[in-house]
Structure 1
């Protein structure tokens, strides 16, 4: 009787502990759900999603392949899914994003289950908690693109491999589901394909017997056969169409540091808490070493192969391409965590959730900035400013191409111009020189030449109001010389130069978010070429930036040439100097140099957000 009571007590205790840990999982899933579904009906459609939607409106499947997929840079899987999904359910933002939001929550569950099978409950709870709360994972669950789609199936590849091969639970359907998950993964994104190849290759090294090796080779064979119909498209996309280096820029060996700073919210507070947690929980376990090396190897090889390709061929490395391998570096680190009692597991789950969510909401301002769609923001500001100015004396410059889905909604009437050609500055100059209107609205959702700002202020010298968000800005200018409205550039100097004009860049570097503008004034009759003057940044005979500029050809007026430095896009040492060189046959009257504030949220999705914006605005 006593023995039975002891056994009963043990079972009840075990049941309560198991039940408690299950409640921790429910808590983590609830956090994941809330963070992804918060205000879900107002999550905006991003530019990337609009791009995908623009490539699904075809009458036949063959047309979709030729025009909507072949000319893109991704495999066909997600685009085909979107094609049929939109036909069935429509393009409304919440409906479009719903599968990806659900996949994002399910991915947290699979991370938990993987860590539980590999390293135990403590590792499972902490891995899933961090994965549920980081902006990196939240935002990719809120965007209807291949990343939120492919990550779930990449994780399922690992889960079903673990069940069938590592845990020897040889139910036939685990093997079938492994093959299906792998095929869906390779059709979602090329880096997901790379992940599958790396995972299955490393899995062969962990095979327990020859039979497992043959089965893994069979899995790989089925995946290759399933992908063969797509091979001509892949060859065209990689070798004929070209890459995406134009907007990413050249690969830098320090990218891995940049990547982890993005993942960790650019927050030393968050990094310190995570590091302290790691130190507190650290315990080396030889039994876990194989899986830790296996998991870490998946991420490291994904990064190394992508880096070699980017360095020697074309740069494809940005934070989202490593998204498919990211959970595995998290799982690898969690292998060092020692076992904890349930009460401490709860404490860590709640504590890490609180810290990460604080960083997400307060430091990263995720629900303020990400939800502030640039296209809708400029439309709202336009409507507001039209009311403010009673719709009169207003000219509108738009620097972006509206997504097709917004053309009707964002249609502008009256004096409005869409500018996005290579002859941008002469077009704007011609437009502004002939207008009699007193106010100008500049709506920008792209990356215009920075010289457009000083060009506008040469006709409309005063900034009345401005609004910024990620990748977009709305600026209201006026010809009025009211002191209340006048734009005050804190640093401005007019020089009567001898060339080459040279100055210390540090004297003008108040913030990386600012611009430095150069306006060169010369006599009308001196315009002679398409490269009238140049601007360089140099240090110790090394050139960090060089660009040529032309003057506006204005009849019977003093001609002006414009050059601007967007400091956030430039890299140079503190001792660097700028040099202005003008064609020797041109007579320069004077040069105006000034510093102005830029958009502090321009790259807020990947860069640190300034806490005190007053420091960065010079008005």
Structure 2
């Protein structure tokens, strides 16, 4: 009789009593179990392993080319100190963020330098770690299917990917919050009092507080809810863990109190509107209607189909309560006290929103889990690469690229004068590293130090000696600056667009863009136009006449892309150099003024030889948030408030196609 133990080994029963056989047989299971355990592990976990590998690839793609953002450069410039105390006094307390990331960067850059990929690597790894922790929480708090769905979304969506590639407190806080939530959940929901959970609970909570005020808020709310959820027989021990976390954070109290006195971000951040949450949901799902439809389908399908398992509905419901509590606290603080709510600060609560939305799913078969994950990853990657253009838009830093473009322009056209509207220290950061050369002839300007009148004077001065102007500017530059340049140099030779910036090379040639309306050719489009007042000299304002022709049109009739611009250019001849007529531009919805701006003659350069002055106003549609209004109307006119004679020599309304990537990271891209 023969027993087939493996394809190449035959065991004869007559040898069973042999000592050597006994030793040999004992050795077989050890070898076989080792091989089978690796194979079984890969079979059991291959889906999450694939998700994590893709998360690494998407975050590390072209790693050496990922640029610094404005916030990263700001943080790095605040690490240039000789001591820890100086870092805290001049690099942390003056900022609005807790100390952790700034202190980490201080020591990390001293050890490894300031190369982009070196600085970003720990944050990329924390983003990948967050994918795994979200998987573990979803699997533990609900089931395997939920863990895989949530991990797949986080692994392949632009929102967590981008913040993983930014060396700021967002992805680190994302990781710390999930780390805290995991160990907290083991203690609170599952009565798992293993030493590792008891140790990591206060450490992770303190790290959240040291990282960002919103990660501290999220962790603090988790801790408070824990008092409600914790079993009574463990409540005092739970409170002791919370006290240890507070003690660990206590060295930061002086910094916290100093930063609280700074208030919010009202200097540059507006208050959130009622549509903030809806816009946020569209943003985290990559502005893709297909993705949102698929996600809704997954939620419905997995709720009604699959293998019923014991649900931890209390934990999933808690996820929803946590996210919306964080959101509403941020929203009402921003609208009532000082603006602080941004998409970035919600990333700490973001995985809990996903857990709440998908956490009710029934557990699916391994094959269905694979289908769900492949579907999510495929659609997300398509949206990330082709619709959101992440690796095109995000991978160009304007601070460096504006100089590269200017160098290209001056090489191609030697008679080019270059104006750079940018943060000069952040731009020179790259020249200090030897990555770019900034010629001394390049003029850096900022507003309000450099106003429209100074720009106009500069262009008049350079007009004879320079045939081209290269204007490299971040999106913070007033669009009227751009219009002033184009009024003198109307030929657009080329324009290069980036997220939050663009470079424009213009010349003296024929105007590239034709006016949408001009008073000399399209008189019927100007309301209030009186043909009796028109002559070869232009349109006359008589004495005591305050209002003249204007141009008005509903935005819905001529806005082609939200990123585009309207310029209004008016040339007036004054009867008296002391007169101060005003070019008015406003957008209104019914009786409500959405935007009002005005250009006064006394603030411009008046040509004393012929008593003429050119008034210019511009507006970027995307800055209006006009889509939330019913019927916004564009309106522009001359206000002759002195009621003295003047002549409109020209009145042009020009529609200009502008940079579709200006806010492309946070808004839909429409080219």
Q: Alpha-carbon deviation of 1:469?
A: 0.9
Aligned to 2:651: 591
Q: Report the equivalent of 1:340.
A: 364
User: Match of 2:518, SS?
Assistant: strand
Query: Offset of 1:271 from its aligned partner?
Result: 0.8
Counting only pairs closer than 5 Å after superposition, residues 352-371 of structure 1 correspond to structure 2 as 352-371=376-395
Equivalent position of 1:4 in the other structure: none
Q: How does 1:108-127 map to 2 (within 5 A)?
A: 108-127=131-150
Q: Which aligned pairs between 1:429-578 and structure 2 lie closer than 5 A? A: 429-435=456-462, 436=464, 437-481=466-510, 486-489=511-514, 491-494=516-519, 496=539, 499=548, 501-506=550-555, 507-523=557-573, 526=576, 528=578, 532-551=582-601, 552-555=604-607, 556-557=609-610, 558-570=612-624, 571=626, 572-578=629-635
Residues 1:174 and 1:154: Cα distance change in structure 2 (over 3 Å): same
For residues 54-87 of structure 1, give each alpha carbon's deviation from its aligned partner in whole angstroms, at most 9, with x where no partner exists.
Answer: 1110112121111111111111111111111111
**Structure 2 residue aligned with 1:401:** 423
Cα offset, 1:279, TM superposition: 1.4
- Residue 408 of structure 2 aligns to a residue whose secondary structure is helix
Q: Deviations over 1:271-297 (max 9, x none)?
A: 111111111111498842211111111
Secondary structure of 1:245's counterpart equals coil
SS class of match (2:562): coil
Q: Is the 2:404–2:436 contact (alpha carbons within 8 Å) kept by the matching residues of 1? A: no
SS at structure 1 position matched to 2:231? coil
CA contact (8 A) 1:549 1:561 kept: yes
User: Matches of 2:229 and 2:247 in 1, distance apart?
Assistant: 24
Q: Residues 55, 524 of structure 1: CA spacing in aligned structure 2 closer, same or farther, 3 A cutoff? A: farther
Q: Take 1:261 and 1:414, find their aligned partners in 2: how far apart are those partners?
A: 45
Give yes or no for contact 1:500–1:582 (8 Å, CA) kept in 2.
no
Q: 1:597, 1:252 → 2: CA distance? A: 27
In structure 2, do the counterparts of structure 1 residues 384 and 144 end up closer, same or farther at CA, with 3 Å as the change threshold? same
**Does 2:453 align with 1:426?**
yes
Kindly report which structure 2 residues correspond to 1:154-553, keeping only aligned pairs within 5 A, or say none: 154-211=177-234, 213-239=235-261, 241-283=262-304, 287-389=311-413, 392-402=414-424, 403=426, 404-408=428-432, 409-413=435-439, 415-422=441-448, 423-435=450-462, 436=464, 437-481=466-510, 486-489=511-514, 491-494=516-519, 496=539, 499=548, 501-506=550-555, 507-523=557-573, 526=576, 528=578, 532-551=582-601, 552-553=604-605
The alpha-carbon deviation at position 36 of structure 1 amounts to: 0.7
**Aligned mates of 1:376, 1:531 — CA distance in 2:** 41
Question: Hey, what's the Cα distance between the residues in 1 that align with 2:329 and 2:580?
Answer: 43
Distance 1:529 1:190 in 2: 53
Instruction: Kindly indicate whether the alpha-carbon contact (under 8 Å) linking 2:142 and 2:316 is maintained by their aligned counterparts in 1.
Output: no
* 1: CA distance, partners of 2:186 / 2:402: 51
Tell me, yes or no, if the aligned pair for 2:399 and 2:422 is still in contact at 8 Å.
Answer: no
CA 1:539–1:359: 2 relative to 1, 3 Å = closer
Q: Report the alpha carbon displacement of residue 603 of structure 1 after superposing the two structures with TM.
A: 0.4
Cα shift at 1:407: 4.1
Q: Report the Cα distance in structure 2 between the residues aligned to 1:339 and 1:527, rounded to whole angstroms.
A: 80
Q: How far apart are 1:500 and its partner, in Å?
A: 6.2
CA 577–386 in structure 1, closer or farther in 2 if over 3 Å, else same: closer
Q: Residue 90 of structure 1: which of 113, 122, 125 is its match? A: 113
Q: CA deviation at 1:103?
A: 0.8
Q: CA deviation at 1:125?
A: 1.0
Change (3 A) 1:595 1:217: same
- Return the offset for 1:47: 1.1
Q: Answer with 347-356 or 596-605: which moved more.
A: 347-356
Find the counterpart in structure 2 of residue 67 from structure 1.
90
- Kept after mapping to 1: 8 A contact 2:309/2:363: no
Pairwise CA RMSD: 2.4
- Segments of 5+ residues of structure 2 without an aligned counterpart are 1-28, 30-34, 521-538, 541-546
Distance 1:286 1:173 in 2: 26
Residues 402 and 502 of structure 2 are in contact (CA less than 8 Å); yes or no, is this contact kept in structure 1? yes
Rounded to whole Å, the distance in 2 between the matches of 1:459 and 1:63 is: 48
Number of aligned residue pairs: 594
Structure 2: how far apart are the matches of 1:575 and 1:324? 36
Contact 1:531 1:548 (C-alpha < 8 Å) held by counterparts: no
The CA distance in 2 between the partners of 1:139 and 1:528, in whole Å, is 54
Q: Is the 8 A contact 1:103 1:149 kept in 2?
A: yes
Partner of 1:5: none
Displacement after TM superposition at 1:198 (Å): 0.6
Q: Take 2:445 and 2:437, find their aligned partners in 1: how far apart are those partners? A: 15
Alignment partners' CA distance in 1, 2:576 and 2:639 = 11
State the partner residue of 1:605: 665
Deviations 1:447-506 (A, max 9, x none): 11111122112221111111101011011000134xxxx412362423648526241233
Q: CA deviation at 1:334?
A: 2.4
Contact 1:536 1:580 (C-alpha < 8 Å) held by counterparts: no
Deviation at 1:25, TM superposition (A): 1.3
CA distance in 2, matches of 1:88, 1:575: 55
Does the 8 Å contact 1:399/1:446 carry over to 2? Answer: no
Q: Where does structure 1 lack aligned partners over 5 or more consecutive residues? A: 1-7, 614-619
Counterparts of 1:74-153 in structure 2 under 5 Å?
A: 74-153=97-176
Say whether the 8 Å CA contact 1:443–1:475 is kept in structure 2: yes
CA distance in 1 between counterparts of 2:224 and 2:179 reads: 16
Q: 1:101–1:360: structure 2 CA closer, same or farther, 3 Å change rule? A: same
Alpha-carbon distance in 2 for matches of 1:500, 1:438: 35
TM-score by length of 1: 0.91
Partner Cα distance (2:660, 2:38) in 1? 53
Indicate conservation of the 8 Å contact 1:183/1:223, yes or no: yes
Cα distance in 1 for residues equivalent to 2:444 and 2:311? 64
Match status 1:48 vs 2:95: no
